[in-house]
Amino acid sequence: MSSQGKVPVFNKHMVTQSKNEIVARSSCWVASVLNLLPGLGAGYLYQRRWGAYWTTCAVTFLWLISTTLSEQSLDSLDPLSIRSSANGFWGIALIASFTSIEASFAVQRARQANSDVKFKE
């Protein structure tokens, strides 16, 4: 900072964007792919949707805990226990699919709410 006490100037558009505008300006397919491939809400980080991200983390944590607890009660010699071990994977895949679809719907809703703003695809 200089001796005159001037504060650096930031892009005003970046500062004044609402959460809805940020989501509306995000790419629909990028948010979906980021939630699907790495999974667990990475697309929510891209959209800066912290509530949805932490909710996804909590649901995933609870799913993994419940899967772990149910696997502990199974007999390792039981052939059905092999099938139940895959429940953890399929649950995570289901959560990732759901969040991927929800992220794309959120972009569409935000764009309808901000129909006066032009967006790049």
Asked whether residue 4 is assigned to any structural domain, the reply reads no
**How many folded domains does the chain comprise?**
1
Asked whether residue 84 is assigned to any structural domain, the reply reads yes
* Domain hosting residue 26, numbered range: 19-113
Q: Which pLDDT score is estimated for 95?
A: 92
Asked whether residue 120 is assigned to any structural domain, the reply reads no
Asked whether residue 40 is assigned to any structural domain, the reply reads yes
Asked whether residue 62 is assigned to any structural domain, the reply reads yes
- Each residue's pLDDT, cut to its tens digit, for the chain (121 residues) gives 455 556 555 555 555 567 778 888 888 888 888 888 877 788 888 888 899 999 999 999 999 898 888 777 656 666 655 556 677 888 889 999 999 999 889 888 888 887 765 555 5
At 87, which amino acid appears? Answer: N
Q: pTM score, two decimals?
A: 0.69
Asked whether residue 92 is assigned to any structural domain, the reply reads yes
Asked whether residue 50 is assigned to any structural domain, the reply reads yes
Which residues contact residue 88 at a Cβ distance below 8 angstroms, ignoring those fewer than 6 apart?
63, 64, 67, 68, 71
Asked whether residue 61 is assigned to any structural domain, the reply reads yes
